[in-house]
Amino acid sequence: MDQAKKQEFEALIAYEIEKTQKIIEDFKQISQPVAPDNAIGRVSRMDAINNKAVADAGLRQAEDKLKKLNYALSKIDSEEFGICRRCGGDIPLGRLALMPQSLFCVKCAK
């Protein structure tokens, strides 16, 4: 991969990191504990608990994505970037454009 493409991907990864950090902050706000003394009714309370569980799952996924994006950014200047960890082949540029944190090519990711 040439230097211009690497710079393009570096900017893309930085943008994705910024976007993911905002998502994480939103999920942290949503996933606040549901107070037991809150008189919202039994059904509404169960709904609030369910919504918190969904937000917690989203938070975990966003934090995992952020970790992978930071790793990809740290490897952007190495020869490992854009190379599949399993087969050693090139990861298609389209896949890297959509998922810059990808460590595997499409075939190996299955």
Residue 98 lies in a domain: no
Give how far the C-alpha of residue 88 lies from the chain's centroid of Cα atoms, to the nearest Å. 23
Digit-by-digit pLDDT tens for the chain (110 residues) are 788 888 999 999 999 999 999 999 999 988 887 666 655 666 677 787 888 899 999 999 999 999 999 999 999 999 889 999 999 999 999 999 999 999 999 999 98
Instruction: Find, among 88, 106, 86, the residue nearest to 96 by Cα.
Output: 106
**pTM for the predicted model, two decimal places:** 0.81
In a domain, 13, yes or no: yes
Range of the domain at 10: 3-78
The number of folded domains in the chain is 1
Distance CA 33, CA 44 (A): 14
Distance between CA atoms of residues 16 and 23, nearest Å: 10
Q: DSSP class of residue 12? A: H
Sign for the pseudo-dihedral over CA of 49, 53, 58, 64: positive
Helix, coil or strand: residue 25: helix
